[in-house]
Amino acid sequence: MNNISEIKNKERVINELMRFIRKVLADPQICPVALEVARKHIDSKNADVLIADELSSLTSVKIPVEFSDADKLFLQVLKDVVRDEQALY
């Protein structure tokens, strides 16, 4: 039974990420805003919360107070992109 629930959870996360990717591709303003917000808060103590709150207030991306697995993955990827960009300089 545990394997079935793990598979269902992974499917849910993938579906949520797919919806999010569609939203980002449909609204070209989300990506630059998300990166700017991440740059602003990446070194803060509660970076994920600050990024999620500001991104939710500025764009159609709504990240709830309790992060889903997909929200956590998105925030991690966003911070990774900013760190990679900072490493280039």
- Give the domain range for residue 65: 2-87
Distant-in-sequence, close-in-space partners of 17: CB < 8 Å, separation ≥ 6: 70, 73, 74
pTM for this structure? 0.83
Tell me what pLDDT residue 1 has.
59
* Tokens, residue 86: 């900072």
- pLDDT tens-digit series, residues 34-85: 999 999 999 999 999 999 999 999 998 899 999 988 899 999 999 999 999 9
> For residue 1, how many C-alpha atoms fall within 13 Å in the half-sphere facing its CB?
0
Count: domains in the chain: 1
